[in-house]
Amino acid sequence: MDTEFTFNSRRSPVVCLHGCVATSQPLASTVGLDILKRGGNAADAAVAIAAALAVTEPCSTGLGGDAFCLFYSADTGEIQGINGSGRTACAQTLDFMESRGYSTESPPSVFDALNVTVPGAAACWCDTKELFGSQKLSLQEILSGAVELAELGFPVAEVTAHHWADNVAALRDAGKKLGDDLLIDGHAPKSGEVFKNPALARTLKELGEHGKPGFYQGRVAKAIVDVISKDGGVMTLDDLRSHNSEVTTPISTEYKSTRLWELPPNSQGLVALLLLNILENFPQLRATGHNSSDYIHVFVEAVRLAQTDGLCYLGDPAHTSIPLETLLDKSYSSQRAQLIIMDRAMEQTKPGPITASDTVYFCIIDSHGNACSFVNSTYMGFGTGLVPDGCGFSLQNRGANFSLHRGHINCIAGGKRSYHTIIPALLTDSVTKSQKPQQLLAALGVMGGFMQPQGHVQVLLNMMEFGMNPQQALDAPRVFVQYDQKSGQWFVNLEEGIEQEVAEELRRRGHKVNWPVTDADSSCGLYHSGEMQLLLE
């Protein structure tokens, strides 16, 4: 490690011998470790943790949301992915939305039932266990830790209590009486207060006993359709029954001696790879200094280019053709990099809308060297805030990411998946096909909607260019490049710890800078909370 560029983190890396889990919640970490101790592998532990976080952090994740998974097999060096995102109701076409009076200028509220897409998390959990699990533990055994937390209760963590209260409006919105299932006497639980969720315990038991039919058919499915219908949505039992995850081949790009792996569209993992490819054209990055004005200027401009390409070309591949090979070609990114001028910001170009989100990310490496990088989200806090009767979870609002502009690549259509922000990642060494199996270097991910590709690349560069260890790489101050739809401008959010002189120089070059952004600042504080990474030596 090159100490010249090292960020002095307050925390030290944790080193383990027989497997490790990293989550945003100690109780969830304990559940995952217990699965490893009982003979389960990284995939089994990932499902157990996802369920435990659904109990302990319902304001960010749960069975009402989506999930994505990347799995590395230590035996073969192969990486496979699961796209666990749900689709719109088949009846929810653009013509239907327009008949309801909605348009690009006047979309439905983010809490509207029309923004509920089929929850894909339950199927993703089941498929992760079946495809990648050890087969030593049943789904019931894997979910038992989460069931116990839901039945007996748990003390709400301080950060979780803050986000719970911050998003409580979604549960109290007019006509959402069932939101009280996720409250205590009509209020968000306070830090340290014990919260029980017997309804969710019942749902988890049914999922464990019956698998996917226990969620997408029967009692739970009927409750989902009922609550959506009462709020004006059009999802049917057939929409739920026909849902399936997609097993995918991850996409990747090489950066120096490593290869970054992401899930393909509709996931925005493509944006992280585009960003890394553009930055590769600036070999002087290390020499500019970590979080210097030159470094941040190049990074910001590269983000704008990558994000614009993502919003232009990224959609559901089942509904549109995506030129992945062209976009990931190094010559394409070289041409894009030539648009970056060091002494001034690029002139404004308008991409699609950018919004925030709430997510949980976690990763596991077991004693055999298998790794699972996993992300689960209800999108914006409690999503729509709609809580199916007797189920103990809220339904996501991922449909708010669709465009209502006819002809747009991400335009809403029946049975379509939206541009999706949640992305797990894996990092391996860069080897030729004849040199397999490739070696795992890290499982990594961050939280925060459109921040995630930017976060992946910043963490990677912190280690590769500036010699930081994993904990330092995660804790170092970050930059978040954000497009504001109302003003039509790009904003550069600089976290506390970046020098004032850097902010002033970026302003001189024409950037709209918010500095310093602290954890209490809602515009960026969320984007540096609870990120995890595991590194294998």
CB 118 within 8 A of CB 221: no
Pairing of strands 489-495, 512-517: parallel
CB contact at 8 A, 32 and 364: yes
Which among 196, 172, 200, 167 has a CA at the least distance from the CA of 186?
Answer: 172
Using a 10 angstrom Cβ sphere, with 0-12 exposed, 13-18 middle and 19 or more buried, the burial of residue 196 is: middle
Tokens 């648009």 belong to residue: 339
Beta strands in 186-311 (DSSP E): 194-195, 246-248, 251-255, 258-262
Q: At which residue do the structure tokens 């709430």 appear?
A: 358
Contact by Cβ (8 Å): 456, 445: yes
Q: Hey, which residues does 253 pair with through a beta bridge?
A: 260
Cis ω for the linkage preceding 516 (within 30 of 0): yes
Compute the half-sphere exposure of residue 428: CA atoms within 13 Å on the CB side of its CA. Answer: 27
- What is the C-alpha end-to-end distance of the chain, expressed in Å? 13
Give the whole-angstrom CA distance, residue 485 versus residue 355. 9
Which residue type sits at 278?
I
Round to whole Å and give the CA distance between 416 and 523.
30
Q: Catalytic residue numbers? A: 359
CB-based contact 495:528 (threshold 8 Å) = yes
Q: What stretches of 369-451 show up as alpha helix (H) in DSSP?
A: none
- DSSP percent split of the chain into helix, strand, coil, nearest 5: 40, 20, 45
